[in-house]
Amino acid sequence: MLTYILFVAGFAALILGANWLVNGAVSLGIRANLSPLVIGLTVVAFGTSLPELVINVFASLKGSSDLAIGNVLGSNIMNIFLILGVSAVILPFSVDRDSIYRDIPVGLFAALVLILMANGYFLGYESKIGSFEGVILLAFFGIYLWYTLRSGKPIADESEIEQQLPDSWLKTIFLILIGLVGLYFGGEWVSEGAMAVAREFGISETAVGLTIIAAATSLPELVTAIVAALKKNVGIVMGNVLGSNIINIFVVLGVSAIIHPLEIKGSLNIEMGMVVAANLALVALIFIGKGLRINRTEGILLLLAYSAFIYISLNQ
């Protein structure tokens, strides 16, 4: 019973810890006179992927490749199918050209690289992602970050940063420290709880990562998307979702693979294929109809696709 209590408490600690750490880091960045663009590209963009990163670090340290890879794949699929679907149902939105010509192609490229690495087509290695491939993934993100910084167009919204005043030094340091503590214990409790749930209910760690863990770690993005849609400010949702997906593959999996090689089961090709299909479906939906936008009908289609994904994940 204690394990399950800590499992639930771990998610709260992760989300709160990530929020505190991001707030403290933004305050520190403002005090260091960093531009809103740089802060948005680093602190804010990474903030939404912190829960996935922390869980994967603990999972990798414990040698749980299934949980680590399932968490990333499940989060990426949920981001496109569920979060964008919910946003479009609440309020149809236009897609900016940066997302279409930068983030979607890079997201599709990242998914294809992952499939090649996972199936041993990269450098002739077996079906796993090792430390060398992890370094390559991080290098790809470095190139993406450099290009984005050079273009002057952020991954995440920077409008609020421009108006924000830094907190006091004491509060800034406190937020960073308490955020790190929350992330540490949250990651430990969630990773232990996930393995306990898998054992108790006789389901794979992969399925737990694809569904429960992915859904919980994507809660901040989902809440942000719903609030933005209700406030009729969904323009930032697409960029944040796609940026998070890119970070999940290049950074979260890259770091995980460096800590411990990720053994990839052949059955995960279905989920990896769905990540590619999600990106392709997004392109198709954007260009169908009038204007570069996603309407309510298309949002419903995305939600139906997510329902199919959950069914497949729990029954494979």
Low-confidence ranges of the chain (pLDDT < 50): none
Percent of the chain with pLDDT over 70: 86
* Average pLDDT score over the chain: 81
Domain at 152, CATH number: 1.20.1420.30
Match 């399932």 to its residue by tokens: 70
Domain that holds residue 185: 2-315
Amino acid sitting at position 107:
G
**3-class DSSP state of 153:** coil
Q: What is the value of pTM for the model shown?
A: 0.82
Predicted local confidence at residue 34, as pLDDT? 67
Nearest residue to 213 (alpha-carbon basis) of 80, 86, 53, 87? 53
Domain count, the chain: 1
Question: pLDDT tens, 288-308?
Answer: 867 778 889 999 999 999 998
Cβ contact 309:73 at 8 Å: no
